[in-house]
Amino acid sequence: MTELAPHPAADAAPRPDMTWIPGGRFRMGSDRHYPEEAPARTVAVDGFWIDARPVTNLEFARFVEATGWTTFAELPAEPADYPGAQTEMLVPSSMVFTPTRGPVPLNDMWAWWRYVPGANWRHPTGPASSLDGKWKHPVVHVAWRDVEAYAQWAGGEIPTEAEWEYAARGGLEDAEYAWGEEFRPAGRTMANTWQGEFPYRSGKPPGTFRTSAVGAYPANGYGLYDMIGNVWEWTRDWWSTASKDSPVSSCCAPSNPVGGRLEDSFDPCQPETRIPRKVLKGGSHLCAPSYCRRYRPAARHAQPIDTSTSHVGFRLVVRPT
């Protein structure tokens, strides 16, 4: 990973608790894991500021108080957007992870995900839940329209996938994890990921298998917290699989790549529902070695822009003008 000279803008953070990331070239993606991460290729990004931590419930509450914003999960769905959907699925709701009672096949996510009426950023697991004790946890149940609105209000933007991955690597060249080559170096837990048997038995203390307070785990080499685990994070890129024709050598590294096209991002497995998808990065507290080894900078996941869940959040960047 090659860093370039700092930009003069690095002298003053545009928002509290932002960290300057010098621009440079790096190896994006991986040839060693899931096919959508390949091919590993050299890209370049300009320098930028990035939030040192994901946006918290407290910060999002200030935004809602200032603007009166109503999140996507708090609104009823439009029947025309979801042909054939059952009426009970169109009420204000969001997806909540629900542990199973025992082992289940890991090829059916609906064994542990539920659309819960009344679940939203204020009520993370349903209408009876609250944010008591969670004000410093990352906000969740935010769809794409919500993170865009927050970014505009806060004076930032959502990072590109390349910016996000470059920052997550923390200055390490092509390392497996954000902190090096070992998942648990010297037995130390480096991120909030699943411990135990997924999706039914957590090895963490009772009540702690969901989100954690931001900054509870070690920072990476750039001083950024929770780039891996805790919650997945939105990026601005439309979902696409990396082209096999992408440049892979440093001599022809694309600069500031921005991913695919909206019209190519739809899920081919759901042709009747034309909802575009964005790229998520970083994995979450639900990533487990037996199911989702996406607790790595190169890992990526497709997320429909209309979908909010109990394990997806975001952070902002500011690019010098």
Q: What distance in Å separates the CA atoms of residue 50 and residue 320, rounded to the nearest whole number?
A: 11
Name the residue ranges covered by the structural domains of the chain: 53-152+168-238+256-314
- pLDDT above 50 for 295: yes
How much is the mean pLDDT over the chain? 92
pLDDT at 216 over 70: yes
Tokens 């790595």 -> residue: 296
| The two structure tokens encoding residue 61 | 């509450």
Q: Which CATH architecture has domain 53-152+168-238+256-314?
A: Alpha-Beta Complex (3.90)
Within 131-284, strands assigned E span: 196-197, 201-202, 232-238, 277-281
80-116 pLDDT, tens per residue? 777 777 777 789 999 999 999 999 999 999 999 999 9
pLDDT value at 151 more than 50? yes
CA 280 from centre of chain = 4
Of all residues in the chain, what percent are helix, strand and coil, respectively (each to 5)?
Answer: 20, 20, 60
Whether the pTM exceeds 0.85: the reply is yes
Q: Which residue's structure tokens are 């935004």? A: 63
Which pLDDT tens digit goes with each residue over 113-130? Answer: 999 999 999 999 999 999
